[in-house]
Structure 1
């Protein structure tokens, strides 16, 4: 009888103890005060409210925890629980996540929307299979070449000191394909590189160039979309699945809605930033047809080399090519 009463008391105690609160420590290179960070903080406030404080998010913006590579390392050792990571930064988790950023892949936002409608769920699932929960992809926009000097021919581009993100084999291959040896730097060192003359040319989205103050060190922008950028918030799957099922649903619902909103906001903000760059006196130039054809052919060969090297798989590049060809055939 006493044993039975002890067991019942223990069971009752377990049922009334409130769930332990969980604070997710999230790092990103995105500066504080940006629309991106504001939306994430609002989502975090809503999650805290809807879970009665059981789930909280603490953000470390502006690269204070280092670049994407450093953030991922800190997630693995438990110092962080997640990060807002760029598509290229996910290469060590799921290499094919970089496929959207293959150089000169997309010609328009319409193409982007069509392909992402087919492939976003697949990429998110692959991140999950590799140990991370993503709540959706958010457009970073098209990256354009920006420089102190005109960018109207490939020959001129070969004379410049072009930045390539540290650890990004795709952008490096795109430049090396036309005979450029890019300067590899982490994102956090790019502004200093422009200020000191270590580099004079970068590839960035309009909103990114303004947020990171790179636009203050360039005078020209080439209109050709070099590559498509995106970001996502990832959380260590083991940490996430320690939450109750109900709290997991709340976090997924709120963060997914936030990323769907950010996806639209970022496109509109990039269009406004594009105009802002014009108003600030940055000159927009176009590369000549012959130079563009030369670069396109060279990039195709570089992409084939990336596939052979295992940077991206042949399967994912074929898949994205099929979707693009389908869209383009319908558009004709």
Structure 2
């Protein structure tokens, strides 16, 4: 009898050990191009998480486009049944994807024209109001691991201009997957048309086509879009935010003892990414200037005037499309940034 009990105990210990050491492979979907700061730093983060968890957690990044895009990726992050693990564990989502995941978060509020104008202001805003957006994402079954800025949107034009009123008259295109942004520009008085990104070059080369577009510098340069225009505005229109989210069911698999160190490692990675972005933006603008692109600069007074006019435009946006943005948070951010800049 004693031998049977000892054998049963031994088997139980062995089985428990096997389950305790079962590895967790997090499948994370990302659209980050190869060899970009995002791609490089996320791979380093994966190694750090593996080290922190003593080999328990590893990360495998998947190409979001292969999955069918962000909308398809979000569907795959939903568990088939409550409590079950989803097909993919998390994703790096653009504002479009974040809005698809958590429409009530009104993520677009962070990307309104001339609201947030540099990284210091973005850090300030996220430190005060990031929780509000994160809470809405949490309500939709995902843990927000971090925010990051993937680039600053700016205006690229064939024609020179000396005022915001002149810029608004220039025929402009923007990506058709950012309908909210296109609507905001239209309500603000811009002559804008949504176009598929793949057709930007074609539209810009057409004799009667567009004469300006909005883009982040990395895309304007790598897609050679800057070759079809003559000017770039040196002022930043808005940040393009990305959110790293992990499904609640997948995050729950990780022992709580490791999570603080994992999030701390993520915070360090985010700071590296933001610093790398600043250097990358300067580098791409430098390369485009070497290719002949000219800079249109705004003096301090013009920046104040543009900021004031865009703020007035946003009042019309709120009246025309109620619910598009978080009006309460927008007003608070606008007022606090005005004081922050003094």
TM-score surpassing 0.5? yes
**1:313 CA displacement:** 2.2
1:299 alignment counterpart: 313
Match for 1:276 among 283, 287, 292? 287
The structural deviation recorded for 1:16 is: 1.1
1:242 shift after superposition: 1.5
Shift of 1:239: 1.1
1:219 is matched with which residue?
230
Q: Name the CA distance, whole Å, in 1 between partners of 2:190 and 2:10.
A: 75
| Cα drift, residue 101 of structure 1 | 0.4
CA distance in 2, matches of 1:293, 1:257: 32
**Is 1:315 equivalent to 2:325 in the alignment?**
no
The 5-angstrom pairing of residues 151-170 of structure 1 reads 152=162, 154-155=165-166, 157-170=168-181
| CA–CA distance in structure 2, aligned partners of residues 113 and 271 of structure 1 | 19
How many residues align? The count is 326
Distance 2:308 2:331 in 1: 22
Preserved contact between residue 134 and residue 234 of structure 1 (Cα < 8 Å)? yes
CA contact (8 A) 1:138 1:262 kept: yes
Provide the residue aligned with 1:47 in structure 2.
49
Structure 1 residue matching 2:92: 3-state secondary structure = strand
2:13 maps to what in 1?
A: 12
226, 232, 235: which one pairs with 2:246?
Answer: 235
1:32 Cα shift?
A: 1.0
TM-score, normalisation: structure 2: 0.79
Gap change, CA 1:252 and 1:296, over 3 Å in 2: closer
Q: 1:293 to 1:37 in 2, by over 3 A?
A: closer
Shift of 1:19: 3.0
Where 1:139 maps in the other structure, the secondary structure is strand
Secondary structure of the corresponding residue to residue 246 of structure 1: helix
CA contact (8 A) 2:151 2:239 kept: yes
Which residue matches 1:101? 111
Structure 1 pair 145–156 and aligned structure 2 pair: CA distance change class (3 A): closer
C-alpha distance in structure 1 between counterparts of 2:260 and 2:269, whole Å: 14
CA pair 325-195 structure 1, distance change in 2 beyond 3 A: closer
The alignment's TM-score, normalised by the length of structure 1, stands at 0.81
SS of 1:182's equivalent in the other structure is: strand
Gapped regions of structure 1 (runs ≥ 5): none
The structural deviation recorded for 1:244 is 2.0
Determine if the alignment matches structure 1 residue 86 to structure 2 residue 94: yes
Instruction: Rate the CA distance shift 1:313–1:7 in 2: closer, same or farther, 3 A.
Output: farther
Return the alpha-carbon distance in structure 2 between the equivalents of residues 27 and 151 of structure 1.
41
SS in 1 for 2:241: strand
Task: Report how far residue 233 of structure 1 moved.
Answer: 1.5
Structure 2 residue 168 is matched with structure 1 residue 147:
no
Report the alpha carbon displacement of residue 312 of structure 1 after superposing the two structures with TM.
Answer: 1.8
Secondary structure of the structure 1 residue equivalent to 2:59: strand
- Shift of residue 88 of structure 1? 4.3
